[in-house]
Structure 1
Amino acid sequence: MHYFTDEQIGTLFVDNQFVQIIPPKSVFGMCEFKHKLILGKFKLQDSRINDVLAASIEQNAPAQMAQFCVQMQVGANQAGLRFEDDLLVEILPPGTKRLYWQNNCKQHMQTIELSDGYQLSEQMVQQLLQPKLRQKEVQGDSSVLIAQVPAYHLGVLKVNGKVEKLLDAGITAYWRFNREISVDIVDTRLQTIEISGQEILTRDKVNLRINLVANWCYTDVLTAYAKVAQPTDLLYRQLQFALREAIGTRTLDELLENKTVIDEVINAHMQTNMAGYGIETVSVGVKDIILPGDMKIILSQVVEAEKAAQANVIRRREETSATRSLLNTARVMENNPVALRLKEMETLERIAERINKISVVGGLDQILHGLINIQPKI
C-alpha cells in the first residue's frame, strides 16, 4: 500500500506506459502479477514537471492534466514571467512549453513581447529584485542583465558589440534573449594610473628603470568607447611611448641636469596623441628613476670628484685672497710706522692671550723695542 499526503502527488506507469495521475490524499495498492508497474511520487511544492513526463501526461491523460496541472507556453519572440502568489519565481525563455503541478500557490504567467525593446520596465526590475531581498532566487534570472551604476559613474550600454547609450547612476535591467548585451561601468572622477618598472636605454646607452604616475579623467565617455574598445589600455600604451621618447632621445647627464624635461615631453606627447579620444591627462610625473648598481658607484665617484675639485678651487681662492691681503698690509706698514706699531701691539696681544704669566725686565718699552730690533746673528 502507498499513501499520499496532501502535499504529494503520484504517477502510475504500466509496462512503461503512462496510465494515470494519483491525486493527493490517496491510498494506492499495486499487484505486479502480469504487468510491470512503476509508481512515481512527487512533492507539490516542487511544482515543475519533467519535460518527458509532461509530454506523457499531455498525450495520455489530458483530462487529468487540466485537473492537476498548469500548462504555460511562451511564443518564439516572447519571454514568460511565472508567478506564485504574485511573487516572481521563474523566467521562461522564448519558445518554452512547460507543465507544473497545481499546489497551494496561485500560479499565473505574464508574457513580454521582446520586439517591443530590450529594456525591462521599472516595475519588472522591482519584481526581479524583490525575491533577492527575500533570499529566494528567481529561476532563469541569468537571462536578464541587471546593471547597477554607482554614484559618480556612468554605464556604457553595448548591444551586439555596439555602443548604444550612456546610463546614469541607478539600476536598470535588459533582456539577454536574442542579443548579446553588456554594460561597462566607467568612473568619471579623477583617476590615477601607474607605469611601473619600465627599463629604458638613454641615448648614451645607460639602462634606467622608471616609475611614472599620471592623473587622468574622461572628458567624453561615448567618444572614448566609440573609438577604442579599452580606453585605459590606449592611455597606458601612449604613456609608455611618451616615456620612451623622453628617455631614449637624451643622455643621462641631460636628464640629471633637467629632471622636469621628462614631464614636459610626456605632457606634450599626450596632448598631441590623445586629442579626440575623450581622455585627458591632468598631470604626469616621474615617481622614481632607478640607476643600475655599477652606475650608482660611478656617479658617486663623479660627484665626489666634482665636490673635491670645487673645494680645492675654493681653498686656492681663499689662499690667494689671504696672500693678497697680507701683501697689502705689508705695503701699508712699510710706509707708515704708526701702522707697523699697531701691528706689533696686535701681535703682542695675541701672544699675551696664550701666556698665563709675564715677567717684564726693563719696562714695557724695552720689550716693544726689543721685538722689532731682534736681528739674526751673522
Structure 2
Amino acid sequence: MLKKVTIQADQRGLLFHKGSYVKKLMPGTYNYFSWSQSTVVVMNIAKPFDVEGKDLQLFLHDEDLARELNIVRVQDHEYVLRYEDGQFVQLLKPGIYAFWNILRKHTFIHTDTRQAELSAEVDRSILPKLTAYVQAFEIASNESGFLFYDHVLQREISPGKYYFWKGPVSVMVKKIDLRQQQMDLIGQEIMTEDKVTLRLNFVCQYKIVNPLRALEMKSFDEQIHIQLQLMLREYVGTLKLDDLLKRKEDIASFILSRMHEKSEEFGVQFLGAGVKDVILPGEMKEILNTVLMAEKKAQANLITRREETASTRSLLNTAKLMDENQTLFRLKELEFLEKICEKVGSISLTGGGDLLERLSSLIGERKPASKS
C-alpha cells in the first residue's frame, strides 16, 4: 500500500529515513510504501527555514539545499536587521538563522552593539518596532548634553534626539539647562554688627555658560547657594541695623561683584541679584514703629506750626490793607454779610424806613471822617 506526498510550487520537501535527513525534494508528487521508514517534512518557502526538533547544522551539508537558503550567523555582540524585498521584517538576536531565497530577496544589516550609538545605515523609521532593543535620549534646544558609556564621559552632544542599543554598553546622558535660572535664599538668619538678628530673603539670577565645568562640580546648585550665604553674612555682619536699612540696595551690588569673581570657577554668568525682604524680630519692629511714629508726629507738628504762621501773616497783611483802604474794608463787610445771609432762612423788619438804610445800619455804616 502506498502513501502519497504532494509538494506545491511554493514548497520544498525534506526527506528523512529513520529520522536522518536524506535530501531535498522539489515540487511534485511522491509515493512511498506505507511500511517504509521514510518521512517527508513539507516546508513553506515563504517562511523561515526551521525544522522542529532538528538543528540547522544537520542540513547545511546538503549543497543543493544550501543554494536555496540564506544562512545568517549573528554573533553575541550583534543584532541583525532582516529585510524582505527592501522592507524591514524583524531583528535577529545572536544565533544561526536560515531563510529561503527563492520567492523573496533577503538583505541583512549587521550592527555591533559594542558601538552603542545606532549607525546612520539604520533607518529611523523602523525604530518604533525596535523599542525593546533601542533607547532614546532627547536634548532640548535650551540644553547641552553629555554622553557617558559605562560612566565614562565620551563627548558633549548638541540639541537633538539620539538612539542607542540596549546592549553590553551602559549608556547615560546628563543634561545641563542653559536658560537663565533663579536661586532664592529664603529666611537667612544673619546678625548685624550691633547684635540684631534679622532674616533676609535674597534672590540671584544666573546663566550657565560652561556646562562642562558645571557638570564637574558635585551639588552645583548647593555650592552656589553656600557662596551666596557666606557673602551675605560677610556684608551684613559689618553693618549696624540703621546702616543696613539705609544701604539695603548696596547689598545686591556687593554680592554681584563678589560673585563675578567666581564666574570662571562655576562656569556661570551672574546676571543680577537683590534683597526681596528684610524681616526684623517682633521687639525690634515695635521699637522701629515707635521711632517712626514719633518722627512723623514731629513732622506733622512742624507742618502745623508753619501753616499757622503763614495764616497769621496773611491775616496781618489783610488787616493792614483794609486799614489803609476804606473801599476794601466795605467790600469785606459786604462779603461777610453775604455769608450771613446764606445761613439765614428769612429776615423780618419792623417799623418804617427804607430797606437799604436798615441793612446799612446792620453792618454799621461808617460816617466819613470830618475834615478839620
Instruction: Return the TM-score normalized by structure 1.
Output: 0.58
**What per-residue deviation string (whole Å, max 9, x for no partner) do you get for residues 309-329 of structure 1?**
344323422443356568878
Aligned to 2:270: 281
Aligned to 1:162: 152
Aligned to 2:108: 109
What is the alpha-carbon distance in structure 2 between the residues aligned to residue 350 and residue 331 of structure 1? Answer: 18
Aligned to 2:34: none
What is the alpha-carbon distance in structure 2 between the residues aligned to residue 110 and residue 330 of structure 1? Answer: 109
Displacement of 1:78 in angstroms is 5.5
**Which residues in structure 2 correspond to 1:1-378 (within 5 Å)?**
47=48, 56-58=54-56, 60-62=58-60, 66=66, 70-75=70-75, 80-91=80-91, 96-102=94-100, 105-112=104-111, 120-122=118-120, 124=121, 127-132=122-127, 137-138=129-130, 141-142=133-134, 149=139, 151=141, 153-170=143-160, 177-186=167-176, 188=178, 191-195=179-183, 198-203=186-191, 204-207=196-199, 210=201, 212=203, 214-218=205-209, 220-225=210-215, 227-228=216-217, 233-235=219-221, 237-239=223-225, 241-243=227-229, 245-246=231-232, 249=236, 256-285=245-274, 289=277, 295=282, 299=285, 303=289, 305=290, 308-321=293-306, 324=309, 338=323, 348=333, 351-356=336-341, 359-361=359-361, 364-365=365-366
Displacement of 1:84 in angstroms is 3.0
Which amino acid in structure 1 is aligned with residue 207 of structure 2?
Answer: W
Aligned partner of residue 340 in structure 2, secondary structure: coil
What is the alpha-carbon distance in structure 1 between the residues aligned to residue 49 and residue 258 of structure 2? Answer: 63
Displacement of 1:155 in angstroms is 3.7
The answer for unaligned runs of 5 or more in structure 1 is 28-39, 369-378
**Contact 2:198 2:278 (C-alpha < 8 Å) held by counterparts:** no
Aligned to 2:350: none
In terms of fraction of residues, the more helix-rich structure is 1
C-alpha distance 216-330 of structure 1, shift in aligned 2 (>3 A): closer
Displacement of 1:364 in angstroms is 1.9
Aligned partner of residue 361 in structure 1, secondary structure: helix
What is the alpha-carbon distance in structure 1 between the residues aligned to residue 334 and residue 296 of structure 2? Answer: 33
User: How high is the sequence identity, in percent, across the aligned residues?
Assistant: 13
What is the alpha-carbon distance in structure 1 between the residues aligned to residue 8 and residue 246 of structure 2? Answer: 91
Which amino acid in structure 2 is aligned with residue 58 of structure 1?
Answer: L
What is the alpha-carbon distance in structure 1 between the residues aligned to residue 184 and residue 13 of structure 2? Answer: 68
Displacement of 1:306 in angstroms is 5.5
Aligned partner of residue 72 in structure 2, secondary structure: strand
Which amino acid in structure 1 is aligned with residue 257 of structure 2?
Answer: A
**What per-residue deviation string (whole Å, max 9, x for no partner) do you get for residues 26-79 of structure 1?**
99xxxxxxxxxxxx99998874969xx67x423655568848865422346665
Which amino acid in structure 2 is aligned with residue 82 of structure 1?
Answer: R
What is the alpha-carbon distance in structure 2 between the residues aligned to residue 341 and residue 308 of structure 1? Answer: 49
C-alpha distance 174-272 of structure 1, shift in aligned 2 (>3 A): same
Aligned partner of residue 148 in structure 2, secondary structure: strand
What is the alpha-carbon distance in structure 1 between the residues aligned to residue 278 and residue 61 of structure 2? Answer: 85
Which amino acid in structure 2 is aligned with residue 212 of structure 1?
Answer: V
Deviates more, 1:194-203 or 1:324-333: 324-333
Displacement of 1:97 in angstroms is 2.0
The structure number with the bigger radius of gyration is 2
What is the alpha-carbon distance in structure 2 between the residues aligned to residue 367 and residue 309 of structure 1? Answer: 57
Aligned partner of residue 199 in structure 1, secondary structure: strand
C-alpha distance 47-193 of structure 1, shift in aligned 2 (>3 A): farther
What is the alpha-carbon distance in structure 2 between the residues aligned to residue 339 and residue 328 of structure 1? Answer: 17
Instruction: Give aligned pairs, total.
Output: 336
The answer for unaligned runs of 5 or more in structure 2 is 30-40, 342-346, 348-357
**What per-residue deviation string (whole Å, max 9, x for no partner) do you get for residues 334-376 of structure 1?**
99995698997797466435322783339622699xxxxxxxx
C-alpha distance 25-299 of structure 1, shift in aligned 2 (>3 A): farther
